[in-house]
């Protein structure tokens, strides 16, 4: 598939095709608290920087005069479904902070392109509404922030299944929030801007536990505040899940795919194989949790060496261009996820900006694969890269 052909040059795009210029214009459009919430990371933000720098530790060595026309085959199979490209929407909460259409816009565009859309537990739009905008039959994944209450966990998973979310992504690195200094300094947590965690607010078991429905027309302001606190603080924070609890998820999720997000160490990748999950996502949450953590791409080769072929390996953190995608795939990732670039796109007129950003990434990736001398994704291997030993 050619996602954007060179008629692109005859049009002025809705936003820049360069990540840094895209972020700069999004910053001008956004509430400063929302911008800082998304742009920031833990502590001194060393991990945010490390995620991007890690891509400079590898360089592509292009090949020429190879049969790569007319178009590159970027398709890939993940958990039994074939996708046009190995690109997945990273789970990102409270997207109405960036545009009123929020998750509706992002899920719609990923549905159009046939790429997996991951709904966050911290979503500002509920399961059913996102399923409707994503579209019937399109690939939807659900990301769980694992509640401390098992009844609530079961209820979330059941609602996800009822709305045809087919892969469960369990985020393990955020059982408490990282030390996010921008948010601490601005006294900001999304619900202060009036953005609620809709999945929790709509949940029938949560209503039972609370003793009221915070979305009912007669709910008081105090009840709404209690519910917001319950969902953002109590239900998904403060417990640190342990490996053996994966069996509890299986009680509802059955044998469907479970993917553990937030894996950074080789030991944890091996444990994921041992505990029988179908996938891992190598991620440091975009540098938002442990400041000083290893740059995501720097952690990839050792994990690939340990578990490649035994489990599906996803990757996120710092992907900003088609060339970045190329490097992650060449190093052995089975798929990659994109976070912040989509949010900056969303800030530019909602779905239009999202479409622009994701189509640009697809196009740049495809052009890079071809110009590097490869016709298909399966040929993009570590031999396409060389370690950069001359600038660091």
User: Is position 318 annotated in a ligand binding site?
Assistant: yes
Q: Half-sphere exposure (CA, 13 Å, Cβ side) for 310?
A: 14
Which runs of E-coded beta strand occur in the chain? 58-60, 76-78, 81-83, 87-89, 117-119, 140-144, 167-171, 258-263, 279-282, 312-315, 335-338, 385-387
What is the x/- site pattern for ligand FNR, positions 303-342, by CB under 6 A?
-------------xxxx------------------xxx--
Contact, 87 vs 325, CB < 8 A? yes
Span from 15-23, 64-72, 90-98, 240-248 in contact with ligand FNR (CB under 6 A) = 90-98
Find the catalytic residue in 99, 285, 348, 356.
285
- Report if residue 373 touches ligand FNR, rule: CB under 6 A: no
Decide whether 38 or 167 has the Cβ nearer to ligand FNR: 38
Q: Does 93 bind ligand FNR (CB under 6 A)?
A: yes
Q: Which residue of this chain has its Cβ atom nearest to ligand FNR in the complex?
A: 339
> 217: part of which helix (H) or strand (E)?
none
CA distance 320 to 9: 20
Nearest to 257 by CA among 75, 80, 137: 80
Residue 362 contacts residue 324 (beta carbons within 8 Å): no
CB of 261 to ligand FNR, least distance (A): 5
First to last CA, the chain: 37
- The least distance separating ligand FNR from the CB of residue 341, rounded to whole angstroms, comes to 7
Beta strands in 248-389 (DSSP E): 258-263, 279-282, 312-315, 335-338, 385-387
Cis ω for the linkage preceding 70 (within 30 of 0): yes
143 binds ligand FNR (CB under 6 A): yes
- Residue 285 assigned ligand-binding role: yes
**Ligand-binding site membership of 241 (annotated):** no
Q: Which is nearer to ligand FNR, 91 or 332 (CB)?
A: 91
Our answer to whether residue 356 is catalytic in this structure is no
Provide the token pair at 246: 């994966």
Q: Should residue 92 be labelled a site residue for ligand FNR when binding is judged by CB under 6 A? A: yes
Site size toward ligand FNR, by CB under 6 A: 22
Query: Which of the stretches 87-95, 131-139, 150-158, 205-213 binds ligand FNR when contact is defined by CB under 6 A?
Result: 87-95
List C-alpha distances in Å: 227 to 94, 142, 159, 214. 16, 22, 19, 6
Binding interface with ligand FNR (CB under 6 A): 37-38, 51, 90-93, 120, 122, 143, 171, 261, 283, 285-286, 316-319, 338-340
- Binding-site residues from annotation for FMN: 91-93, 120, 143, 171, 261, 283, 316-320, 339-340
Question: Annotated catalytic sites, by residue?
Answer: 285
């Amino acid at each position: 598939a050619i996602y954007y052909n060179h008629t692109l040059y005859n049009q002025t795009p809705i936003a820049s095709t360069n990540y840094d210029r895209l972020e700069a214009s999004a910053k001008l459009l956004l509430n400063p608290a929302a911008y800082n919430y998304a742009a920031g990371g833990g502590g001194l933000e060393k991990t945010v920087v490390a995620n991007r720098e890690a891509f400079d530790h590898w360089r592509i060595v292009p090949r020429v005069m190879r049969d790569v026309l007319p178009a590159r085959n970027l398709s890939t199979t993940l958990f039994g479904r074939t996708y046009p490209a190995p690109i997945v929407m990273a789970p990102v909460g409270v997207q109405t902070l960036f545009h009123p259409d929020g998750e509706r816009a992002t899920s719609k565009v990923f549905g159009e392109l046939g790429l997996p859309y991951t709904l966050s537990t911290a979503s500002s739009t509920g399961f059913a509404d996102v399923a409707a905008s994503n579209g019937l039959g399109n690939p939807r994944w659900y990301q769980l922030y694992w509640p401390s209450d098992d009844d609530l966990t079961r209820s979330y998973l059941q609602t996800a299944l009822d709305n045809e979310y087919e892969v469960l992504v369990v985020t393990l690195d955020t059982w408490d929030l990282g030390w996010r200094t921008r948010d601490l300094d601005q006294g900001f947590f999304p619900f202060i801007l009036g953005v609620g965690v809709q999945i929790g607010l709509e949940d029938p078991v949560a209503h039972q536990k609370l003793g009221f429905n915070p979305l009912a027309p007669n709910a008081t302001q105090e009840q709404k505040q209690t519910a917001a606190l319950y969902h953002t603080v109590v239900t998904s924070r403060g417990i640190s899940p342990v490996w053996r609890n994966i069996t509890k998820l299986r009680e509802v999720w059955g044998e469907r795919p479970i993917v553990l997000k937030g894996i950074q160490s080789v030991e944890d990748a091996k444990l994921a194989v041992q505990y029988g999950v179908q996938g891992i996502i190598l991620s440091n949450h975009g540098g938002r949790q442990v400041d000083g953590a290893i740059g995501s791409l720097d952690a990839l080769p050792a994990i690939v060496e340990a578990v490649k072929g035994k489990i599906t390996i996803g990757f996120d953190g710092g992907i900003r261009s088609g060339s970045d995608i190329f490097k992650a795939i060449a190093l052995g990732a089975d798929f990659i996820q994109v976070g912040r670039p989509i949010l900056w796109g969303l800030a530019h007129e909602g779905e239009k900006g999202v479409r622009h950003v994701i189509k640009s990434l697809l196009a740049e990736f495809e052009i890079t694969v071809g110009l590097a001398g490869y016709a298909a994704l399966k040929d993009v291997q570590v031999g396409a890269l060389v370690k950069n030993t001359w600038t660091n």
